[in-house]
Each structure stands twice: as C-alpha cells, then as structure tokens.
C-alpha cells in the first residue's frame, strides 16, 4: 500500500464518519439525583425469603459457611 492509497482511504473514512462531539447536551447529574429521590429502595419478598432460608441453613449446619465461602 503506497502513501497515496493510504491518504485516499483516510479521506474516505473522514467523509464516512462525522466528527464525534464529546460534550454532553445537558448535565445528567440532576436527573440522576431526581431519580434516586423519587424511587424508594424496595427489596422483593423473594430476596427476604432467600436470606431467611440461607440463615436457617447456616444455623443448622455451620460447616456450609466454609463451603459457600470457598465457592465465592
């Protein structure tokens, strides 16, 4: 590939892809804060059931704590 072909490819790519704007159109942080304020943290019932089941299994056989920790 010679230099002229390289230049032609570079020019074709510049024409194909417009320049990218790295600036945001607006500030996103206020929207994030608003979303965090309006949406309360809710834990579904099955998470509580899983926590309760895990706690009861670990209370019945504490050796499983080491097995579980090994697989993490």
Q: What is the pLDDT of residues 37-55, one digit of tens each?
A: 887 778 899 999 999 998 9
| Domain residue limits, the chain | 47-72
Q: Is residue 1 very low, low, confident or very high in pLDDT (cuts 50, 70, 90)?
A: low
Measured on CA atoms in the order 8, 11, 17, 20, is the torsion positive or negative? positive
User: What secondary structure letter does DSSP report for 26?
Assistant: S
Mean pLDDT confidence for 61-71? 87
Instruction: Give the tokens for residue 1.
Output: 């590939």
Taking a C-beta distance cutoff of 8 angstroms, is the pair 65, 58 a contact? yes
pLDDT, tens digit, 9 for 90 and up, residues 20-34: 777 777 888 898 888
Task: Tell me how many degrees the CA angle 55-61-66 measures, rounded to the nearest 5.
Answer: 85
């Amino acid at each position: 590939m010679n230099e002229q072909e390289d230049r032609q490819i570079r020019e074709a790519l510049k024409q194909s892809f417009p320049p990218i704007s790295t600036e945001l159109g607006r500030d996103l942080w206020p929207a994030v804060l608003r979303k965090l304020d309006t949406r309360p943290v809710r834990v579904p019932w099955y998470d509580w059931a899983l926590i309760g089941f895990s706690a009861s299994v670990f209370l019945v056989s504490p050796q499983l704590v080491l097995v579980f920790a090994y697989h993490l």
